[in-house]
């Protein structure tokens, strides 16, 4: 992949993902790149086991685990990875959260 690309999110519609969570997603060579917005205090109801890499643009988010272990707590300026098979779900902080995510290629 030696081409240079401009990835424009402005043309992607803001689509609801779950109550209080919406994203603008773009397919880049079969991999989902997304700007994801959580409203303040929102907990994603369903668990996810797909891997992601990302960066917190604004706010705070904690990724919880079903075993009740210590959540991965992130704030604006933090990058992160979540491994395939590591079940998690996000809970936004009091101000909400805005993330840039790259989903692992299937």
CATH for the stretch 18-103: 2.60.120.10
Mean pLDDT of 77-84: 96
Provide the pLDDT for residue 26.
94
pLDDT of residue 3: 83
Query: pLDDT averaged over the chain?
Result: 93
Q: What is the mean pLDDT of residues 23-50?
A: 95
Instruction: Say yes or no to pLDDT of 1 above 70.
Output: no
In whole angstroms, give the CA distance from residue 17 to residue 92.
Answer: 14
Q: Give Cβ neighbours of residue 85 (< 8 Å, ≥ 6 apart).
A: 49, 51
């Amino acid at each position: 992949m030696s081409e240079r690309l401009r990835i424009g999110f402005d043309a992607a519609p803001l689509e609801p993902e779950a109550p209080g969570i919406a994203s603008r997603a773009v397919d880049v060579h079969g991999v989902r790149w997304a700007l994801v917005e959580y409203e303040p205090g929102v907990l994603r109801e369903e668990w996810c086991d797909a891997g992601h890499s990302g960066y917190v643009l604004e706010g705070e988010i904690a990724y919880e685990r079903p075993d009740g272990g210590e959540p991965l707590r992130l704030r604006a300026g933090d990058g992160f990875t979540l491994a395939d098979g590591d079940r998690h779900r996000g809970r936004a902080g009091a101000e909400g959260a805005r993330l840039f995510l790259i989903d692992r290629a299937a």
